[in-house]
Amino acid sequence: MKVIKVVCGIIYKENKIFLCRRKPEKSLGGYWEFPGGKVELHENPEAALLRELHEELTMQVNVEHYFGTSMYDYPDFKIELIAYVCTLQADQFVLTDHDAFAWVAPEELLDWKLSPADVGLVEELL
């Protein structure tokens, strides 16, 4: 089964964490997730995260540290989701792959319809 390497940011601002909802027409449409994207061949995961956040959200963050990795088997592929804790520096929230965003208290994260790969990270976070 094909493994897709994806990076995401657990982005903090004032004790809340940033989530985005995937557009309905996208894979996993309607699910909420920590923002990020695919790591390109020969790309450093932290560089990929900074690139993806800028491309998808016009967001700038400081990558503080590696948080953990979640592996999840979807029917047609496997995701290796690599997470970093980040702090928000600047944003314009121009949504390209998402149709909504929210700042959520950590203890409320599991109340949201999270993508399955993100659930493992949230459980580790709590």
Give pLDDT tens digits for 67-83.
Answer: 999 999 988 889 999 99
Output the pLDDT for position 105: 97
The rounded mean pLDDT for the chain is 94
Provide the CA 115 distance to its chain's centre, in angstroms.
Answer: 10
Distances (CA, A) of 22 to 1, 44, 83: 24, 24, 18
8 Å CB contact between 93 and 21: no
**93, pLDDT greater than 90:** no
Percent helix, strand, coil in the chain, to 5, is 25, 50, 30
pLDDT at 97 > cutoff 90 = no
* 123 vs 94, higher pLDDT: 123
Residue 18 has pLDDT above 90, yes or no: yes
3-state secondary structure of 18: strand
What is the CATH number that goes with domain 3-125? 3.90.79.10
Q: DSSP 3-state assignment of 26?
A: coil
The pLDDT, as a whole number, for residue 64 is: 96
Global pTM value: 0.93
Angle at 52 between CA 92 and CA 81, to 5 degrees: 125
Bridge pairing between strands 78-91 and 3-13:
parallel
pLDDT score of 76? 85
pLDDT top residue among 48 and 97: 48
- 4: pLDDT strictly greater than 90: yes
2 φ, ψ (degrees, to nearest 5): -70, 135
